[in-house]
Amino acid sequence: MWTTRDSSKIVELKEKFSNPHMTSGINVNYFSSTFHVISMSTNLVWHRKKLSNGLTVLLYSRPFSNTVQLSVGVKYGSNQEPKEQAGIAHFLEHMLAGGSDQRIKLSRKVENHGGILDFYTDREQVLGTMDVTTDKLPEAATILSDLFFGEQFDANKFKTERKIILNELAEVKDDPVIRVEEILLENLFRKHPVRYPVGGYPKTVKKLTFEQLLSAYRVNYIPQNMILVLSGNVSQEKLVMTLNGFRDQQRTGNPQRPPVPVETFKPKTLVVKEKAGITQSYLSLGARTVPANNVDTPVLDLISTLLAGGTSARLFIELREKHAVTYDVMATHSKGTDFGYFSISCAVKNSKVKKARTLILRELFNLQLGSISEEELERAKQIMLGGILRAMDNPHDCYEIITFMEMQYGSEFALKEYIDKIKAVSCEDIRRATIEYLGEDSLCTAILNPVGSNL
């Protein structure tokens, strides 16, 4: 599978960090090459260590949990693929669990321990995750290490997985929400690989060879290019046993990252396409923005909350409550190491597309005029911060956030610093960023209509 929200898990989870006043209650110390547990003064911070083989290890302790989560992130997603091999990172993800009889046995063995195993591909990473009871952590770690570092791949399984992936691509193509976002990205970016679907295209997937997949695996699946995240109830003894299974992996490689294309063109104002089998029109309005580490990223994240973050958000009130043109509306700031884009999406009755677009543009214009009050801004901040606390309490959200923050900032203090930046955003910052990034000349509107609609 792959996610359609790009490497901006922080977008969906942008509210999900933690309370700076709570402590973890566990003592861990750094000693020699062992990763020990030290007292934490805040649960916005995790422990970070790099093993001798280059693997980055992040520990986020939740000592009162009944389970433990283990994840491995590989810094190799669809944005790192050559255009002619679009989909190879996602193909590799499939092969991790299904690429040989031995891999299938290992994957199913997780369930013998009462655990859950999952994988997904994103714009900048492949993430494999495991959730088990605390006493099964060492066994789970061995399985996950073998899946990511084992060399067992079978050419016949490669053919089988290709068929499965082509079915998956067909299923994704049927989803109008995904399709309208693809249309938007194709028109916001001409050169950057973010314009390509994470899963690739049927024509590129059909051309991929077993040798190309093995080559991509050997180059990118190396400890120096990976992040291991442990969260939950992790004792010192279990931690040492877990890391032993990863410390011995010594594979080396040289992952190549293509130069980042600079996109400066003005996108088309309006792109309209049709799709059979839908009854509503799907609208996605967006603009290019900035990468995750840009100073304006927290401002743009907060703008998305002001527009569509809850029932008090501007677009929810205008489009749903006042004018009843849609059931729901989403505003998202997606970003990664070298890209960013802002999008506003909704599904509307065919005859209401123009009205919905006009209402969205009006709210963006109002923000450019500085119409936001201190009270409204503070409410949006509280919505974000409340979501952050809930997410860090959620074991499956927290390791995604931690992995994202490590990839973008490489610091165990990244979450706390991000929240501090959110708190510091002013009304003037909102006005300025809306003018700079979301002015009408920068926007593209993608519309996916039912076949034969008169729009």
| Cα 191 to Cα 82: distance, rounded to the nearest angstrom | 12
Using the predicted structure, report yes or no on whether residue 42 has a pLDDT greater than 80: no
pLDDT value at position 418?
A: 95
- Residues 194 and 282 both lie in one domain: no
CA angle at 319 for the pair 316 and 322, rounded to the nearest 5°? 95
| 343 and 389 part of one domain | yes
pLDDT score of 26 more than 80: no
Do 297 and 234 sit in the same domain of this protein? no
**Which residues face 341 on adjacent strands?**
288, 334
Of 184, 214, 247, which one is at a domain's C-terminal end?
247
The pLDDT of residue 308 is 96
Domain extent for 130: 9-247
What confidence tens digit (pLDDT) does each residue in 312-347 have?
Answer: 999 999 999 999 999 999 999 999 999 999 999 999
pLDDT of residue 239: 87
Q: Is the pLDDT of residue 2 over 60?
A: no
The answer on 127 and 242 residing in a single domain is yes
User: 122 with 220, same domain?
Assistant: yes
- Position 425 in a domain: yes
Shared domain for 352 and 238, answered yes or no, is: no
Q: What's the pLDDT tens digit per position in 218-235? A: 999 999 999 999 999 888
Q: What is the mean pLDDT of residues 82-91?
A: 96
Question: Higher-confidence residue: 452 or 25?
Answer: 452
Number of domains in the chain: 2
Indicate whether 34 pLDDT > 80. no
Is it the case that residue 28 has pLDDT exceeding 50?
no
Q: Is residue 377 part of a domain?
A: yes
Same domain as 231, residue 84: yes
**Is 391 among the domain residues?**
yes
Average pLDDT over residues 19-42: 33
Distances (CA, A) of 308 to 206, 311, 319, 398: 39, 8, 10, 23
- Which of 232, 247, 262 finishes a domain? 247
Q: What is the pLDDT of residue 70?
A: 94
Let me know the angle formed at the C-alpha of 387 by 60 and 320, rounded to the nearest 5 degrees.
Answer: 155
Task: Clarify whether residues 153 and 276 are in a common domain.
Answer: no
Residue 214 lies in a domain: yes
Mean pLDDT of 168-182: 95
| 4 belongs to a structural domain | no
Q: Please state the three-class secondary structure of the chain as a single string.
A: CECCCCCCHHHHCCCCCCCCCCCCCCCCCEECCEECCCCCCCCCCCEEEECCCCCEEEEEECCCCCEEEEEEEECCCHHHCCHHHCCHHHHHHHHHHHCCHHHHHHHHHHHHCCCEEEEEECCCCEEEEEEEEHHHHHHHHHHHHHHHHCCCCCHHHHHHHHHHHHHHHHHHHCCHHHHHHHHHHHHHCCCCHHHCCCCCCHHHHHHCCHHHHHHHHHHHCCHHHEEEEEEECCCHHHHHHHHHHHHCCCCCCCCCCCCCCCCCCCCCCEEEEEECCCCCEEEEEEEECCCCCCCCHHHHHHHHHHHHCCCCCHHHHHHHHHCCCEEEEEEEEEECCCCEEEEEEEEECHHHHHHHHHHHHHHHHHHHCCCCCHHHHHHHHHHHHHHHHHHHHCHHHHHHHHHHHHHHHCCCCHHHHHHHHHHHCCHHHHHHHHHHHHCHHHCEEEEEEECCCCC
User: What does the pLDDT average to over 80-87?
Assistant: 94
What average pLDDT does range 81-96 have in this prediction?
96
Q: Which residue has the tokens 């990118």?
A: 220
CB 106 within 8 A of CB 250: no
Position 453 confidence tier, pLDDT thresholds 50, 70, 90: confident
| pLDDT over 90, % of the chain | 76
If you average pLDDT over each of 25-29, 59-63, 187-191, which comes out highest? 187-191
Q: Is residue 370 part of a domain?
A: yes
Domain match, 237 and 290 both: no
Global confidence as pTM: 0.88
Q: Do the domain assignments include residue 394?
A: yes
Whether residues 307 and 342 fall in one domain: yes
pLDDT at res. 39: 33
Q: Calculate mean pLDDT across residues 397-423.
A: 94
Residue 104 and residue 229 in one domain: yes
pLDDT tens per residue, range 56-70: 999 998 888 899 999
d(CA 402, CA 338): 19
Provide, rounded to the nearest whole percent, the portion of the chain with pLDDT above 70.
90
> Looking at the domain assignment, is residue 256 inside a domain?
no
Q: Which pLDDT belongs to residue 1?
A: 55
Quote the pLDDT of residue 261: 80
Give the tens place of pLDDT for each residue, 248-289. 777 777 787 878 888 999 999 999 999 999 999 999 999 999
> Residues 274, 243: one domain?
no
- How much is the mean pLDDT over the chain? 88
Q: Averaged over 292-298, what is the pLDDT?
A: 97
Domain holding 377: CATH number?
Answer: 3.30.830.10
| Number of other CB atoms surrounding residue 27 within 10 Å | 12
Q: What is the pLDDT of residue 44?
A: 85
Q: Two tokens at 388? A: 């952050």
